[in-house]
Amino acid sequence: MTAQATQGVADGGQARVATLGIDHVVVVVRDLTAAVARYAAVLGPPSGVEGGVDVGYRRALFELGSSGQRIELCQPLDADEPGGQSQASRSFRRRLETLGEGVHNVALLVADVPAARAAAERAGTTVIASRHSESFFLHPRDMSGALLQLLAADSADRSG
């Protein structure tokens, strides 16, 4: 069956979000350099280290084989740095302050972002806007404590 065909099977025909798989997992860290060294010892070198003022954080990407899936380590910019007041940077700092280092969100791929958003809203889930039109988030209070990002499979920027 196609994703659209299976979308309503388990819920009696009510439209649900049809996911295509996991794209990436964001892990928030206090010290990106130290975290990269720890992850590289296990997973090999990162495929890239980037970020800054334009996104509000620094990140390192670890590709997981040839699956296209990855782990993204993110260190927020300090509040007084340029870019440090971005939504992502504030969210990452809040995570570090309240829970410490760890998983911030899991990004799931969808074929149709507007349809996925509409299905999530129909289900009564709180939707959080993203800085990208190609994605949105589902509030952790509605998702058993997990922050889920729903991201267009064909997005040019499949992270963040």
* Residue 101 lies inside a defined structural domain of this protein: yes
* Residue 119 lies inside a defined structural domain of this protein: yes
Residue 2 has pLDDT above 70, yes or no: no
Cα dist from 157 to 40, 81, 133, whole Å:
23, 24, 11
* Residue 57 lies inside a defined structural domain of this protein: yes
Residue 5 has pLDDT above 80, yes or no: no
* Residue 11 lies inside a defined structural domain of this protein: no
**Residue 140, CB half-sphere, CA atoms under 13 Å: how many?**
9
* Residue 1 lies inside a defined structural domain of this protein: no
* Residue 48 lies inside a defined structural domain of this protein: yes
Split into its structural domains, the chain has a count of: 1
CATH of the domain at 128: 3.10.180.10
* Residue 23 lies inside a defined structural domain of this protein: yes
| Nearest by Cα to 88 from 61, 109, 57 | 57
* Residue 4 lies inside a defined structural domain of this protein: no
Output the pTM of the full model: 0.85
How far is 27 from 16, CA to CA, in rounded Å? 27
Q: What is the number of residues in the chain?
A: 160
Q: What is the pLDDT of residue 132?
A: 77
pLDDT in tens, 49-98: 988 778 899 999 999 999 899 999 999 999 999 989 998 999 999 999 99
Which structural domain, as residue segments, surrounds residue 78? 19-152
How far is 137 from 77, CA to CA, in rounded Å? 21
More confident residue, 16 or 100: 100
